[in-house]
Structure 1
Amino acid sequence: MGNECYLYLGRVMPAWLFALMFTAFAFATDDYVIAGVLPAIAADTGVSEAAAGQLVTVFSLAFAIGAPFASVTTATWSRRRLLTGALLLFVAANWAAALTDSYALLMALRVVAALAAAAVVPAAYAIATALAPEGRAGRYLALVMGGLTGSLAFGVPLGTWVGGAFGWQATFVLGGALGLIALIAIRVTLPDPPAAPAMPIRERIAPLARARVLLGLLGIVAIVMGSMMLLTYLAPFLRDLAGVGATALGWVFVLAGVAGLVGGQLGGRAADGWGADRALLAGVAGFTAVMALFTGLWWLRPMPLLALLPLLALWAAVSWWIPPPAQTRLLALAGSAGPQALALNSSAVYVGVSLGGAAGGLLLEAAGPGVLPAGSAVVEVIALALFWTAARLARREEAGRSVAASP
């Protein structure tokens, strides 16, 4: 069964790749869905909504801190055993969360679930790239990342509906069920790729200290930050631009999730076909153009939402086009430390989410929502400059080694 393949976008993809995508979908849904049932959790646990919101914060923080350590300490473990153990832990943490009304215990269980995710998600990215055929690493990586966009379009609305219909505890039951389905899919389809050879931890992480890798990681932070500056405050931006309310905003997020899923796949294919650098340049150029259009339309408000939907879909598509070539470039910069770089990449994503929310909030308070697109575009261009500098350093190092090796 592990060798079964399925047709996807005109290409035959292995079943295990879809299992990894669903695993990413399960973890991302579990992270984001808290926002949909937050008021109910606050009421039942006797805390404020602001305090309940820290269940999201602690998950993100535990993931960001845990991912690099998990990647280094488990590098020599069997991949199937690592994913099996972490998914079992994830399922147990979610189902235990459904049985408690203690805020402190719920907070601790969110940390456990996040640490399980921190072990699995970077490993899933590394497995996808390691097992990808020559010239198809970008699209394999993009398909796994599609689980993240899919969670926004389908997983979060489903979890919110389940929580509204049956209580917030049912949302955690659903999270555990998704984890169990992912576990079964992994066990049935995934071959056991070779783990990293045993070596001292210092040697394993040494390549990550190179300037080019650090610049690449900063580029990831900037990419996510630029996207989140607008996404975090999309509600006030669209409210003032087109009078969009809560119901319509929900459909906008569904549209954005679907468009982002398509954009991510196209970005992965572009990274393989054009090269990571050209695909990244195209994505940032497209993002900047969309932000310029948003800035211009701000002066024509109010705008009808229907007229904005194509532009919103394009924005989501180019936003998710960018990560696959950016991660492909990061892998090239890291060399043999690619799996560890992917773990740090996951941490960088969460740092970018936090910084995007903070920077966007400052812009919102200082000048209103109309400046958010321009601010987002500036940060994305900075990200491109960071990757360009990192690539230039890499070429210099390669040239230096070539000169040293020549007789």
Structure 2
Amino acid sequence: MSNSLKILLLAIVTFFVGTSEYVIAGFLDIIAKDTGISIASAGQLISIFSLSYAIGTPILVALTARMDRRTLLIASLVTFVIGNAMVIFLPGYLPLLLSRVVLALSAGIFLTVAITMATKLAKPEKIGSAISTVVMGFSTSFVIGIPLGRLVAANMNWKLNFAALGILGFAAVFILMAAIPRTEGETPIPLVKQLAFLKNPKILMALVVIFFWILGYSIAFTYITPFLLNVANMSTSTISMALFLFGFASMIGAKIGGSATDKWGVRKTLLSGLIIHAISLALLALSAHSIVAVLLVLVLWSLSLWSSGPTQQVNLVSQAPEASSIMISLYSSTQQLSMAIGAGLGGIMLKNMPISSVVWFGALGVAIAAILAIRVIRPVVKVSN
């Protein structure tokens, strides 16, 4: 098997792992009904995943840095299979929460190691392409995983999603054992050294912008299914189509963001994306009476949301190019922490406010990110000869 196929294989398995995080957003209402809990409590299943990912992944990466990469990759997949089995066989809300912790830790380790393995398998001039291929597997779970998961949950049983992921993960263990070569571990980067970069004001403020950007997104998207069901009055089939459109637009948005950053720079691209993002969330609340309008706004939301991803990473890495891996690690941890807090805040809002409030507060979070970006990301001044 060529190295290109091995990288593609890592991307496919990464899709399974990514789906375990995102798929649950498509059927929170069904889980709430099946387990006898509120939608707000069901939303905490997303919050606990993100929080576990944000806190646990850097620690586990540091502790396992010297391990053989293939061994660690397989171990994370075995843990992934166990986490899915817990969802299927252990009844009740608390075991479901625990399974989300297990799945989060396995996902964090797998994605980190998969990206590392891809860089070692790729030619030096193809490293960037190899990384984007693996990451695309994670983001593709938005396109296929969420809408497909909704269809399965609505027409059969929501636990079948995790049964399928567990079976696919189990098969992937043996495929990766045969396909991926053994690779030595690396010198661990102490957590203290990683956190030391937060003393840099530019890096800290870049992370604060990322935090509010994802916070606004998470408050709204975590509860998008109840919003579409109860506010926009969509049917289950229409919701699946809406989630598919959102996921498909995410891929286009990421491509637009990367190209625009190269052409127009970080400031123009990021500010444009954040402003349109905030406006689209406000329009989502205002257009809920029209299904066609909601579908159009969802596409606009996804395009603007995902256009900011590559730009945020470029901005952060540019602050410390000599430590790009640490910057990406800080980016991922900030993103997941913000998602956890956003899901939690959204749940609190649902207990005291109408469902549409999560969309308005989501717009507020993104607007704060835009205001901060205007202040902290200064325009590049070109000095002529």
**TM-score using structure 2 length:** 0.76
For the residues of structure 1 that align with 2:234 and 2:34, how far apart are their CA atoms? 31
Report the Cα offset of residue 331 of structure 1. 3.4
Q: CA–CA distance in 2 between the matches of 1:212 and 1:279?
A: 14
Residue 388 of structure 1 corresponds to which residue in structure 2? Answer: 377
- 1:314 corresponds to 2:304: no
Correspondence list, 1:95-110, <5 A? 95-101=85-91, 103-110=93-100
> How far apart in 1 are the matches of 2:336 and 2:295?
28
Q: 1:68 to 1:337 in 2, by over 3 A?
A: farther
Distance 1:292 1:202 in 2: 39
Match for 1:122: what amino acid?
Answer: T
1:21, distance to aligned residue in structure 2 (A): 2.9
State how 1:154-169 maps to structure 2 within 5 Å. 154-164=144-154, 167-169=157-159
Q: Which residue of 1 is the match for residue 208 of structure 2?
A: 218
Q: CA deviation at 1:307?
A: 5.0
Q: 1:31 aligns with which of 5, 18, 21?
A: 21
Specify the alignment match of 1:375 in structure 2: 364
Task: Quote the residue 1:278 is aligned against.
Answer: 265
Shift in Å, 1:285: 0.4
Q: How does 1:7-406 map to 2 (within 5 A)?
A: 14-35=4-25, 51=41, 53-101=43-91, 103-127=93-117, 140-164=130-154, 167-183=157-173, 186-187=176-177, 190=180, 195-197=185-187, 202-203=192-193, 206-207=196-197, 209-232=199-222, 234=224, 244=234, 247-270=237-260, 273-274=262-263, 278-279=265-266, 281-289=268-276, 291-292=278-279, 295=282, 304-306=290-292, 309-335=295-321, 337-357=323-343, 365=353, 371=360, 375-382=364-371, 384-385=373-374, 388=377
Bigger drift between 286-295 and 42-51 goes to 42-51
Unaligned runs of 5+ in 2: 381-385
* Greater alpha carbon shift after TM alignment, 200-209 vs 233-242: 233-242
- Name which of structure 1's ranges 76-85 and 46-55 shifts more when overlaid on structure 2: 46-55
Change (3 A) 1:103 1:287: closer
Distance 1:280 1:193 in 2: 39
SS where residue 98 of structure 1 aligns? Answer: helix
CA offsets 1:82-139 (integer angstroms, 9 cap, x no match): 2111111111231243223254444333322222112222334455567766787666
- 1:142-185 superposed Cα distances (whole Å, 9 cap, x missing partner): 44333344223321333344445554443321121232355456
Gaps of 5+ in 1: 4-13, 393-407
Output the CA distance in 2 between the equivalents of 1:47 and 1:372.
24
CA-CA distance at 1:348 after TM superposition: 1.2
Question: How far apart are 1:66 and its partner, in Å?
Answer: 0.3
Deviations 1:302-324 (A, max 9, x none): 77443554443233122112112
CA contact (8 A) 1:97 1:172 kept: yes
Distance across 1 between alignment mates of 2:97 and 2:361: 33
Matched to 1:221, the amino acid is: F
Answer whether contact 1:218 1:386 (CA < 8 A) is retained: no
CA distance in 2 between partners of 1:330 and 1:317 (Å): 21
Residues 165-215 of structure 1 deviation map (CA, whole Å, 9 limit, x = unaligned): 554443321121232355456445556666433576655664455444333
Paired letter, 1:58: I
CA distance in 1, matches of 2:325, 2:250: 25
SS in 2 for 1:322: helix
Partner residue in 2 for 1:403: none
Distance 2:252 2:219 in 1: 22
Q: C-alpha separation between the residues in 2 aligned to 1:188 and 1:38?
A: 37
- The letter for the 1-side match of 2:373 is L
**Worse-matched range after superposition: 38-47 or 81-90:** 38-47
Q: Aligned in 2, Cα 1:20/1:270: closer, same or farther, shift over 3 Å?
A: farther
**CA distance in 2 between partners of 1:358 and 1:52 (Å):** 10
Give the Cα separation in 2 of the matches to 1:161 and 1:375: 31
Asked if structure 1 preserves the Cα contact closer than 8 Å seen for 2:46 and 2:340, the reply is no
**1:387–1:161 distance in 2 versus 1, CA, 3 Å:** same
Contact 1:123 1:339 in 2 (8 A): no
- Alpha-carbon RMSD: 4.2
Q: Could you tell me which amino acid in structure 2 is paired with residue 226 of structure 1?
A: G
How many positions carry a matched residue from both structures? 377
Residue 347 of structure 1 aligns with an amino acid whose one-letter code is: S
String of CA shifts for 1:360-382, please: whole Å, max 9, x gaps: 77699599578557525523414
